[in-house]
Amino acid sequence: MHGVLPLWKPKGLTSHDCIYKLRRILKTKKVGHTGTLDPEVEGVLPICLGGATKIIPYLSDLKKVYSVRLVLGSTTDTEDATGQIVDEEPVEDFPSKQVIKDTIKQFTGTIKQIAPMYSAVRVKGKRLYEYARENIEVERPEREINIHSIDLLNVNEEMNSIDLEVSCSKGTYIRTLCVDIGKKLGYFAHMSDLKRIESDSFKASETFTFSDIESIINSNEANKMIHPPSRALNHLETYSVDENMKRLILFGQKLPLPETKDFILGKPYKVMYKDQLLAIYHIDPENNNQIRALRVFNEMQSEGD
């Protein structure tokens, strides 16, 4: 079984919990996820199976899309609804939709975020959440992230809530984004709900729950939920080869720089024979006149792509 299974991760499970559960259901050991989701967050979690686990390094940096609810009037030590309230104030003048739209525009593009205390970032060998649990304050690292877009979906003045859809790069702390947007609006804020609705080009409508997966496995129709690895690599340009080249590619041989394809130094390309993913190649950094393999998928060829 080789391919990508778009899982709808439920609340209450870590991404690693999902891997263990799928290994049992699918009766296979080669299972890997393409990007962690916090236990209290549900949503799209693409799972790679069999030989497709080799493509994981080429998926983790892709954009994610989230549906998020921001609540004005209070902030917590975790920046979300699971934490203890540390500051609060009444929202006497709820911002207009236009003010909210103008404010969220300021957070698009490349911005800087300071990692929240309750996060897995390491400082001096310890996770930040370990310091937080011991009530130890440490200097938190700042990093650049990219917010591709933020759209206002809904407001509820009675609940002091603002619903947003956020498309962003890997490593974005949505709860920190909520706190920072609240500050710009003039209020304490925290994230009260979060769902990942798109990851690595897989949308919520394409996902399967654990219940779905167990039913499909029992009906011997597993292929219904497995996408070919090439689908997950849509963001990579394609280098198509003929049957003679296929054999060389599957042996991982270095090849002359193709004249029929513009290769760019440092950029990976997926190599395809018809609809079969054979490998990922790039320009050899030691010899720019040839291309070399980064990954070869010969173990998938007996079953096709």
Q: Which residues are catalytic?
A: 38
H or E segment at 132?
A: helix 128-133
Q: Which amino acid is located at 219 in the chain?
A: S
**Which of 135, 9, 18, 136 is CA-nearest to residue 84?**
135
What is the Cα–Cα distance from 4 to 239, expressed in whole angstroms? 21
Residue with tokens 């009906």: 219
Q: What 3 state SS string does 240-303 have? A: ECCHHHHHHHHCCCCEECCCCCCCCCCCCEEEEECCEEEEEEEECCCCCCEEEEEEECHHHCCC
- Planar angle of CA 35, 41, 42, nearest 5 degrees: 85
3 state SS of 142: strand
Write out the H or E segment, with its range, that includes residue 15.
helix 15-26
Q: 237 and 271 in contact (C-beta within 8 Å)?
A: no
The answer to whether the beta carbons of residues 295 and 305 sit under 8 Å apart is: no
CA distance linking residue 136 with residue 130, whole number of Å:
9
Single-letter residue type at 188 = F
DSSP bridge pairs for 198: 65, 203
Euclidean distance between the first and final Cα of the chain, in Å? Answer: 10
> Rounded distance, CA 301 to CA 228, Å?
12
Contact indicator for 56, 32 with CB cutoff of 8 Å: yes
